[in-house]
Amino acid sequence: MNKPLLDDSLLSAANATFIEAVYDEYLHNPNSVSLAWREYFDRLAKPSDAAATKPIQAPASSTPGRDDAKSPGIEIQTALSDVGMVDTDDRKQVAVLQLINMHRYLGLNLAKLDPLGLKQQSDIPELHPAYFGFTEADMDKVFNTGSLVGPDHASLREILQILRETYCGSIGAEYMYISSIEQKRWIQTRLEGQRSNPNFSADYKRHILERLVAAEGLEKYLHTRYVGQKRFSGEGNESLIPLLDSIIHRAGKTDVQQIIMGMAHRARLNVLVNTLGKMPEDLFREFEEKQPQHLPSGDVKYHQGFSSAIKTADGIVRLALAFNPSHLEIVNPVVEGSVRARQHLLNDKLGDRVLPLLIHGDAAFAGQGVVMETLNLSQTRGYGTGGTVHIIINNQIGFTTSDPRDSRSTLYCTDVAKMVEAPIFHVNGDDPEAVVMVAELAFDFRMRFHKDVVIDLVCFRRLGHNEQDEPMVTQPKMYRVISRHPGTRQLYADRLIAEKVIQPQDADSLVQAYRDAMDEGVNPNKAVCYDYKSPYAINWEPFIRPFKWNKKVKTGISLQMLKQLSIRLTDTPEGFKLHPRVEKIIADRRLMGKGELPLDWGMAENLAYAALLKEGYPVRLSGQDSGRGTFFHRHAELHDQVAADENERIYVPLRHLYPEQPDFVVINSMLSEEAVLGFEYGYATTQPNELEIWEAQFGDFANGAQVVIDQFIASGEAKWGRLCGLVMMLPHGYEGQGPEHSSARLERYLQLCADYNIQVCVPSTPAQMFHLLRRQMIRPIRKPLIIMSPKSLLRHKESVSSLDELAHGYFYPVISEVDNLDPHTIKRLIVCSGKIYYELLAYRKEQRIGNMAIIRLEQLYPFPHEEFQAEIDRFVNAKEVVWCQEEPGNQGAWHRIQHYLLRHMKPDQVLAYALRASSASPAVGYTARHKFTQNELIVAAFREKI
């Protein structure tokens, strides 16, 4: 028998785990360990000339994208001999610990993950005992197992068996890049403690089989009943259904009350029926186009959302599947925003009660940038949801691209998740018990550490991209193998028969019972609670009732209240030192609150928020630099210039108006438009009673979120009946700052306007902004609001308002001529929106023109027909109407607005325009050229002959 290591050895039982932990720290950050240990490990990792003395030559590394010189176990025996620090037994003990570590790092490369067996596995030298200098004579020697979960001492043969079972079976784990030792040890305990071999009861195994029968049964039923109809079948990834079932029922054992899900098309119908409990007869009516359709456009069945409740052994879990367009991963931030809103409602600050769950495709997860953006939101203060469970339906083919060399530049489709140190568990979809074990592991990790976690469900796609596609054309080898595959259900049924868990006839009975249920159009899932009413459901009823768009609502507040709120907005804590420029702004705001200075935009906006908070409406404002304001105007956040410690001291006056007020949240978002806007849309669709604002740094930057605007904000109500009160503030105006800092692309939003779906407004005074923001919440209407917000107007001496205008005014969709001109002498009406008004006004004054009136259209959609008609009727002798805009003719409002103008004009009136020439670019890049064209269009608006 081999002599165990001496108790006083450097690698004794007491020291081995400690050294391993120190070495683990060294691998992540060499500077985190002491100089002595760093030098020791540096020598350990350095190849030497003595490498040729290894007793057995290990296979050469062929793992793609890896640098052998950086491998933690390289040449360890020789290196230790060179430094001469330990004897032979100790050298081998260190090598054992390295062999363990290598399996934790690289074991998944030998794991049996592919149900089709098509992936060629590269031999990994570091996973062979020979690589570390072991011979057959060492296999039965007993070593200290270090942190390996199991016996403290075991033979090398036993250690290798534990490692191979744990890391090279149906589960491949990636987690050693995680910085937290606690998280790594937790995963090791769960995996190594069971050797990745689940131990389920016979009853639960039969339950897993029943779920597989349901998954396969629905697909086969649809395939025969609705031949060739597009449905994005889940055949080949049936293990998704027991995976979801496991997470839902495990959630029932915790505080989780709601699971909000997002997924693209693949297997969506299966999830709708077999997980969420949608009635098959309703799905069949959709296939047969007999389902009643009450929406203006509606959407295809594999984009539909659904909500339900599942009864678990420990309580009810509410489920919601978000609606999803064809832009696949774009639903990710929408789900996260909806989850954050629900957590806010439940005061769920850690994310224990509402869980986000996202189902991805392998190609989309690796290929679409919004995945990275959403992951980057996950641990931020303003957007974190306590971690997301990600499930990848990895059918190893995106559309027709199955070769990883074409579909990504990483070894695995999941590698992007490593950026947030999310553990990744790859699992063979043909091993349903391993799939369920991973589901439990992932869920528990998320609930314990409140971090994202990824399940890579490696499976296949039996049919084409859709049911009309012929995959054999581009993947003949893969589909020859798939055609011979018996199916996951059959494989698992055979396994349970062999284990004597079921009889052969039991499997057939389950299949027939499910088919009978489909014939009846009923859902056999007894866990679904169809009559459950959630106590946390949001009441949208007040916003569905009919309400006239142009009906005025009282948005003003008393002068006394405005002055009181002004005092609170300009108050700062004792000893709080403001920046001199900010101190001047706050001092001016004190005078504004007293009525001694006219109100600017920043003060009016802050007063709008304060007044809403006073009336019980929470406010959430996010965007890049929204706290201060990109244009140094908002100053909702105040920064102490001489903080007492290294932590910056920030004071937000809107959070200190009065005791127990609603939340005011202002977030300086990361540099993302797509994910952040998607998040805020999801939030707004869940919380109708909170003012929800996303602000672009410049209006042009919303281009980066066009998918969210087109496929959710503008069309979500028409397609899915989803109401949303999101406000988008898009700084807009031509100040000579070039093509990407001028236009918020007003024309794009107007093009999207139909069915009274959104509001597009261009306020020109602080009072208009005040009333517009308040109207958004006070009116019983929840429609997205697009505000072309100002830039240079923020400090324009003419663009100011009085306290009286805030107290007694409204938002005016049309603002009439403000100068004292005789209406009967007016021969031309100049109609405009936004900043250009003040330049037109200045030119008219300079030129002393008295027969041309200027009318401002402050709301472009829905068009204010009655108000505009009143202006046309007021100026009875005006024979000309001129539309003036800063934008080129093919942009801005001109093409959308002209038919509205013509509709209200008299037969003898002529319509003309003053604008920049049509252009492929929104603006010029040279200030001199900008000034020239700006002056030209202003002059043109007043030219005698049009």
Whether 599 maps to a domain, the answer reads: yes
The number of residues in the chain equals 946
Judge if 347 and 443 occupy the same domain.
yes
Side chain identity at 869, as an amino acid letter? Answer: Q
Q: What is the CATH number of the domain that holds 909?
A: 3.40.50.11610
Last residue of a domain, one of 494, 520, 546: 520
Distance CA 937, CA 929 (A): 13
With a cut of 50, list the residues of the chain below it in pLDDT. 1-14, 47-87
Helix (H/G/I), strand (E/B), else coil: 853: strand
Asked, for residue 313, whether it belongs to a domain, the answer is yes
Range of the domain at 158: 13-181
Nearest to 41 by CA among 55, 28, 54: 28
Specify the CATH number for the domain of residue 406. Answer: 3.40.50.970
Both 165 and 18 in one domain: the answer is: yes
Same domain, 820 and 804: no
312 and 441 share a domain? yes
> Quick check: 547 and 779 in contact, CB under 8 A?
yes
Residues 174 and 303 in one domain: no
534 part of a folded domain? no
Domain final residue, candidates 754, 783, 808: 808
CA dist 630 and 624 (Å) reads 8
Pair 385, 451: CB distance under 8 Å: no
Convert the pLDDT of each residue in 70-100 to its tens digit.
Answer: 344 433 443 343 333 434 578 899 999 999 9
Give the Cα separation of 705 and 75 in Å (integer): 51
Which of 181, 214, 246 is the last residue before a domain boundary? 181
Helix/strand/coil (H, E, C) string of 692-719? EEEECCCHHHHHHHHHHHHHHHCCHHHH
Q: What is residue 383's predicted lDDT score, i.e. its pLDDT? A: 96
Residues with Cβ within 8 Å of residue 352, at least 6 apart in sequence: 254, 255, 256, 386, 447
Q: Is residue 334 part of a domain?
A: yes
Residue pair 316/255 in contact (Cβ under 8 Å)? The answer is: no
Token digits of residue 229: 């109809």
H helix count then E strand count, the chain: 31, 24
Mark whether 249 and 123 lie in a shared domain: no
Q: 159: closest CA among 176, 140, 173?
A: 140
Looking only at Cα atoms, what is the longest distance across the chain?
Answer: 115
Beta strands (DSSP E) in 486-547 are none
Tokens of 574: 């004792």
Q: Break the chain down into helix, strand, coil percent, rounded to 5.
A: 45, 15, 45
> Of 119, 252, 104, which Cα lies nearest the Cα of 187?
104
The domain tally of the chain equals 4
Q: Within this chain, do residues 102 and 246 fall inside the same structural domain, yes or no? A: no
Residues 164 and 293 in one domain: no
Give the distance, in angstroms, between the CA of residue 88 and the centroid of all CA atoms in the same chain.
54
CA angle, corner 413, sides to 167 and 381, nearest 5? 95
Helix (H) or strand (E) holding 914: strand 910-916
* Residue 312, CA distances (Å) to 316, 388, 528 in order: 6, 21, 9
Query: The pTM is what?
Result: 0.90
Whether 662 is covered by a domain: the verdict is yes
Query: Is 28 part of a structural domain of the chain?
Result: yes
| Nearest residue to 446 via CA among 420, 466, 464 | 420
- Calpha distance 667→692 (Å, rounded): 12
Residues 134 and 269 in one domain: no
Does one domain contain both 852 and 818?
Answer: yes
Instruction: Give, as one character, the DSSP assignment of residue 528.
Output: B
pLDDT for 645: 60
Cβ–Cβ < 8 Å for 262, 324 = yes
Residue 113 lies in a domain: yes
Bridge-partner residues for 318, per DSSP?
Answer: 258, 309
On whether both 145 and 213 belong to a single domain, the answer is: no
Mark whether 611 and 634 lie in a shared domain. Answer: yes
Q: Is 597 left (phi over 0), alpha (psi -120 to 50) or beta?
A: beta
In a domain, 526, yes or no: no
Q: Report yes or no: 635 and 596 within 8 Å, Cβ to Cβ.
A: no
Q: What is the pLDDT of residue 16?
A: 57
CATH of the domain at 773: 3.40.50.12470
DSSP reduced 3-state for 457: strand
- CA pair distance 358, 644, nearest whole angstrom: 43
